[in-house]
């Protein structure tokens, strides 16, 4: 009885103080070098060698209040109210003629949908995330089967479950890349998803952190940090914290012009067009808003950019 009481006390303390997102191994990235928005903007409008294919892996319906801050002035002026909102779960295929093929996020694995508990998706996560409303259109295994030679890595926008739900189909040898502090920064909320995230990553490659700069004297990620992924100015990772501590956007130079993958810095087209950050699904709304404004200002300076949002076309 005494031992049980101490375990309960210890668990309560951990939840109160917060914990990291996962105990999966994290190392500095072996790919990419620090750059800057200024250097990115010198080349962004030139045609580049990257091919980008965005695949709708699954359709889903979730509350609008998670996707858009309904308390914002713009949302209230538009008289938006909470309702079930249709969205998509994307996986992006990026092809580099020299460095190979990569995924940005993972889509949804059919085997996870068939047995979510067996793949580590806890009952609490299943309750909060209405998995029963996910309708797979092209599962992760199917996406991978259509890539001759396989993929050379996965670039994550962040590690929320709907962006890692394809991990059961990702081979354990495939390198994985994340924004800095995505795993290490502690929070109360992590206590509820830590087990699920760790289980989805079990048996997979270590997580490699992009070499973004942190805010001076703090362990939080600075906004607008840039990494030149392949060292040739064709693909960039851009730090956009707020939705999660290490949220990352990706800018890709294609023959038809630049493509910006916002990740969940903006879930929706409406949120982007009205400058409104996501709602309850976002950890730090003020920081998310600053990251959103940074990306929107980048696009205003380069209006030919093809912007692809986190969960809507």
Q: Which residues contact 54 (CB under 8 A, 6 or more apart)?
A: 90, 91, 92, 93, 308
Half-sphere exposure of 260 (CA within 13 A, CB side): 28
Cα distance between residue 136 and residue 56, in whole Å: 9
- pLDDT (tens digit, 0 to 9) for every residue of the chain, 313 residues total? 444 444 333 344 444 457 999 999 999 999 999 999 999 999 999 999 999 999 999 999 999 999 999 999 999 999 999 999 999 999 999 999 999 999 999 999 999 999 998 888 888 888 777 888 999 999 999 999 999 999 999 999 999 999 999 999 999 999 999 999 999 888 888 888 888 899 999 999 999 999 999 998 778 999 999 999 999 999 999 999 999 999 999 999 999 999 999 999 999 999 999 999 999 999 999 999 999 999 999 999 999 999 999 999 9
Helices (H) and strands (E) in the chain, counts: 11, 14
DSSP, res 225: -
Is the separation of the CB atoms in 70 and 114 below 8 Å?
Answer: no
Q: Residue 123 has what pLDDT?
A: 82
Question: Is 205 part of a structural domain of the chain?
Answer: yes
- The pLDDT value given to residue 1: 44
pLDDT recorded at residue 280: 94
Q: Is residue 11 part of a domain?
A: no
Between CA 237 and CA 226 the distance in angstroms is 6
- pLDDT, residue 282, reads 95
Q: Is residue 22 part of a domain?
A: no
In a domain, 27, yes or no: no
Cα-Cα end-to-end distance for the chain: 55
Rg of the chain over CA atoms, in angstroms? Answer: 19
Give which of 140, 133, 88 is closest to 309, Cα–Cα. 88
**In the block, which residue shows the tokens 């205003």?**
300
pLDDT at 7: 38
pLDDT reported for residue 128: 79
Q: Do 89 and 313 form a contact (C-beta atoms < 8 A)?
A: no
Q: Does residue 298 lie in a domain region?
A: yes
Query: Does 270 fall in a domain?
Result: yes
**CATH code of 124's domain:** 3.60.15.10
What is the per-residue pLDDT for 20? 92
Inside any domain, residue 30 = no
Does some domain include residue 13? no
Strand order of the sheet with strand 248-254? 33-35, 226-228, 235-239, 248-254, 257-261, 306-308
Domain count, the chain: 1
Dist CA 311 CA 67 (whole Å): 9
Q: Which domain holds residue 186?
A: 35-308
């Amino acid at each position: 009885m005494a031992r049980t009481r101490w375990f309960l006390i210890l668990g309560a303390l951990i939840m109160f103080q917060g914990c990291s997102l996962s105990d999966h191994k994290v190392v500095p990235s072996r790919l990419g070098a620090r750059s800057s928005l200024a250097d990115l903007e010198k080349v962004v409008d030139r045609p580049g060698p990257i091919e980008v294919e965005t695949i709708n892996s699954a359709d889903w319906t979730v509350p609008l209040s998670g996707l858009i801050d309904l308390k914002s002035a713009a949302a209230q002026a538009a008289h938006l109210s909470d309702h079930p909102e249709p969205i998509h779960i994307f996986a992006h295929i990026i092809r580099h003629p020299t460095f190979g093929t990569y995924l940005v996020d993972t889509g949804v694995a059919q085997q996870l949908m068939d047995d979510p508990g067996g793949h580590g998706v806890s009952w609490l996560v299943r309750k909060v995330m209405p998995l029963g409303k996910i309708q797979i259109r092209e599962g992760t295994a199917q996406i991978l089967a259509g890539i001759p030679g396989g993929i050379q890595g996965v670039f994550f926008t962040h590690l929320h479950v709907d962006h890692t739900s394809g991990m059961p189909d990702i081979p354990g040898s495939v390198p994985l890349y994340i924004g800095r502090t995505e795993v290490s920064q502690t929070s109360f909320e992590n206590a509820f998803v830590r087990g699920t995230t760790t289980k989805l990553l079990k048996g997979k490659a270590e997580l490699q952190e992009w070499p973004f700069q942190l805010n001076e004297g703090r362990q939080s990620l600075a906004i607008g940090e840039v990494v030149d992924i392949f060292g040739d100015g064709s693909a960039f990772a851009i730090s956009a914290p707020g939705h999660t501590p290490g949220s990352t956007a990706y800018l890709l130079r294609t023959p038809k012009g630049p493509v910006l993958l916002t990740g969940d810095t903006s879930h929706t087209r409406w949120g982007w067009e009205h400058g409104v950050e996501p709602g309850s699904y976002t950890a730090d709304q003020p920081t998310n808003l600053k990251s959103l404004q940074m990306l929107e200002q980048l696009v205003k300076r380069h209006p030919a950019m093809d912007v692809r949002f986190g969960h809507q076309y």
